[in-house]
Structure 1
Amino acid sequence: MVTTIRWTEAGALRSAHWHSESATSAPSRVIDADDRMKADTAYRLACEGTALLWRGDFHNARQLLQAMSRRINRKPLERSDSPAESFRLHRKARSHRARVLGRLLVLLQDDYCLNLRRAPDVSQACTEAYGPPSGPMAVPLTELLGVMGAHQWRTKGVEVPALDARIHPHYGVFSPVRGEYVDLVAHAPLPASTDRRADHRTAFDLGTGTGVLAAVLAHRGVDHIMATDISPRSLACARENVRRLGFTDRVDVVGPGLFPEGRADLVVCNPPWVPARPTSVLETGVYDPDSSMLRDFLAGLAAHLESGGEGWLILSDLAEHLGLRTRGELLAGIEAADLRVVDKIDTRPRHPRVLDTADPLHAARAAEVTSLWRLTAK
């Protein structure tokens, strides 16, 4: 993959390191753009594959991005009566939008300074997302705005009623804004082996992300929780949240990996709910290609449960309504792993998109149910 962009400015050839969280190759054609560029021109060039390196006013760049977005919206969305085809068209449209808008670039200097008029100080946000600076770096403006937004989330945190505290998500780590899955873990009956009367209670939280479910289990009185993830960003985020919440004596964050060594009385897993390929690192909390994490959880669960222990699978049925996975396939996976279902606790989503009738996936979202499946070894 090309990791450098080159452009001509004031008659001189210049270059910078290219960074894209979606792993998009560096654009082969880059031209300067500033406040004189019209939205129609910018949109046309971006659709043709030309990247625009912004050298004007920062707020004008944001306005140009909005104008380009409006031009994308003018094209009617393709629709289908097939849920699976609707999902495919939805992803295609989102990919086109991301590709076109991602061609408006900004240049971060050696210290992550954004040398544009009326530009905010983005150095802290960029350091949190990318690590220490290592030279000039070009990024899509859309990505930089996401980095800035993530910094605000990380600073302010997300209120989690089940903890009566805030969780602070890092850039690239799925935020617990959909509280229904957290509430399921907060209120499901603990298996007998993790009852408060037990001498010692252990749990695994697989794919911990921000660490929110591990924290909920600690809040409920589980003595020792091992939280895992494959993402270094998630591991760092979970460790920070565990420390903030004062649970370092109960929660160990380990990884990268899925299952830690040993067995536990309770194994909790909230895998990505949609079996589709993510197009960026940021989408890995939502999309699980071929349900690979779900399959690995089911396949390894029995071998990691103490006698009388339970596995809690938190899973939305959105994929079923989209025609991407059937209930029969899920039940067959549970059966093949020598597991049985003890109970299933359901809840309805509460996020605003459920009410958005303009969403091409509205029918599926309106029918969605999130469930906590209580599983035991046969």
Structure 2
Amino acid sequence: MSAELEINKPEPIAISKEQKSFHRESNVESTIEDLIQGESILITEFYNDGISLLKELHNYLKRKLPNKSFKEQHEYRAEYFRLSNLILLEIIDQKIVAKRSPSIGWLEKFYSDNNHFFLTFPQVQGLNSAWQWYKNGVSIPVLRNKIHPYYGTYFPTRFEHLVLFDNWLKRYKGPKKTAIDVGVGSGVLSLQMVQHGFQKVYATDTNPNAIIGLKEFMGTTKLSRKIELDFGDLFGKWEKQSELIVFNPPWLPGTDTLGRMDSAIYYNETLFPDFFIAAKKRLLPDGKLVLIFSNLAEITNVTTVHPIEKELAEGNRFQLEKCYKKSVGAASQKTKRNPHWRSSEEVELWVLLPTYTKLDL
């Protein structure tokens, strides 16, 4: 299946005209002015010159834009995203031209047939970070072994919701023949279910990299027979009913301003209604639907609508068995964002049961 899927990777940039460049002797103010005017800037000498320019860009934006409320932070990030992606690096024979650049295995994997192109500096930073995570693995507290997340695949960097799910799985007394994991990402929830004795997990994702990466990660091990993958929206090709459906959806209502940058974080207005309609059809009469969510959107005043509460109040498809909540730990002191709302953030694990009317039976 992975051979048929096209990897989601940064699009190579081909440039025909001469570019303005930036190096340690360049004038920072005039370079930032060029970026504001929409002009691309090429890092020609040292990789670290690009790091320096990004720092200067942050300093400039901090002076120009307020960055206190959740909405202001969002606008700040959007502007930083726009300007920073005008900073370019040249790649020849799958290696970055600028001196002292990191060695990134994805360049060989993704662009073996392209010997000369450009990428934006943030794209290269993303490829580099992703290569380190992929190569070295990431430890997840609820899993015995490290995961090796593929490029462009969501993986958790905080774990309170995974602990909630793990504690629930420890108490789960129902059958463990099959489960469905909607939006598998890097596979953590599926791996947790297998670890807790589920015989078969059917998993889907709309991101081809998640499917390709997990297929590669599992190889021909026992896991590949326990976790079956499908590239598709919501439930994909899985039509059979299951005793457990698990969904860790995005936690914030949709936005179009950042494109794919935060696609694992934002949901559109049809996601939850579509999901609940499809989930009802695929849940066995005595099955359980588990959703992992957060009050983040409410405490940051992004919305007053909680999509799971809305479904329970209006959908007539499910009833609440239990909702477990866990406070989120303090934000890292290293974070550049202002995380004052974290003190009141809670992750939530909702366990729903199907409701049946006479028409259903």
Distance of aligned partners of 1:247 and 1:103 in 2 relative to their CA distance in 1, 3 Å threshold: same
Q: Distance in 2 between matches of 1:217 and 1:351?
A: 28
**1:211/1:241 contact within 8 Å kept:** no
**1:211/1:237 contact within 8 Å kept:** no
- Tell me which of 149, 155, 158 is aligned to 1:175: 155
Point out 4+ residue stretches in structure 1 off by more than 4 angstroms.
Answer: 1-4, 189-192, 243-246, 355-361
SS at match of 1:225: strand
What is the aligned partner in structure 1 of residue 142 from structure 2?
162
SS at match of 1:134: coil
Within 5 Å, give how 1:318-333 maps onto structure 2: 318-327=296-305, 329-333=307-311
SS at match of 1:236: helix
Q: Distance in 1 between matches of 2:91 and 2:305?
A: 48
- Tell me which of 195, 198, 221 is aligned to 1:222: 198
Q: Distance in 2 between matches of 1:232 and 1:158?
A: 20
What is the aligned partner in structure 1 of residue 346 from structure 2?
369
Distance of aligned partners of 1:258 and 1:351 in 2 relative to their CA distance in 1, 3 Å threshold: farther
Deviation at 1:62, TM superposition (A): 2.1
- Tell me which of 276, 300, 303 is aligned to 2:254: 276
Deviation at 1:131, TM superposition (A): 5.0
Report Cα offsets for 1:345-364 as digits up to 9, x if no partner.
Answer: 111222525x799845523x
Say yes or no: does 1:288 pair with 2:267: yes
**1:211/1:242 contact within 8 Å kept:** no
What is the aligned partner in structure 1 of residue 25 from structure 2?
36
**1:69/1:101 contact within 8 Å kept:** no
- Tell me which of 216, 219, 232 is aligned to 2:208: 232
**Range with bigger deviation, 331-340 or 99-108:** 331-340
Q: Distance in 2 between matches of 1:351 and 1:250?
A: 36
- Tell me which of 93, 101, 109 is aligned to 1:119: 101
Q: Distance in 1 between matches of 2:177 and 2:12?
A: 50
- Tell me which of 38, 46, 61 is aligned to 2:35: 46
Q: Distance in 1 between matches of 2:246 and 2:345?
A: 21
Q: Which runs of 5+ in 1 are unaligned?
A: 9-29, 80-85, 195-199
What is the aligned partner in structure 2 of residue 24 from structure 1?
none
- Count residues with an aligned counterpart: 340
SS at match of 1:330: helix
What is the aligned partner in structure 2 of residue 74 from structure 1?
63
Distance of aligned partners of 1:345 and 1:97 in 2 relative to their CA distance in 1, 3 Å threshold: same
Say yes or no: does 1:87 pair with 2:63: no
Deviation at 1:57, TM superposition (A): 2.0
Normalised TM-score (structure 1): 0.82
What is the aligned partner in structure 1 of residue 51 from structure 2?
62
Report Cα offsets for 1:269-327 as digits up to 9, x if no partner.
Answer: 0001111225243411111123x433322221111111210010100110111233335
SS at match of 2:343: helix
Distance of aligned partners of 1:145 and 1:348 in 2 relative to their CA distance in 1, 3 Å threshold: same
**2:47/2:100 contact within 8 Å kept:** yes
Deviation at 1:127, TM superposition (A): 4.0
Q: Which runs of 5+ in 2 are unaligned?
A: 1-10, 356-361
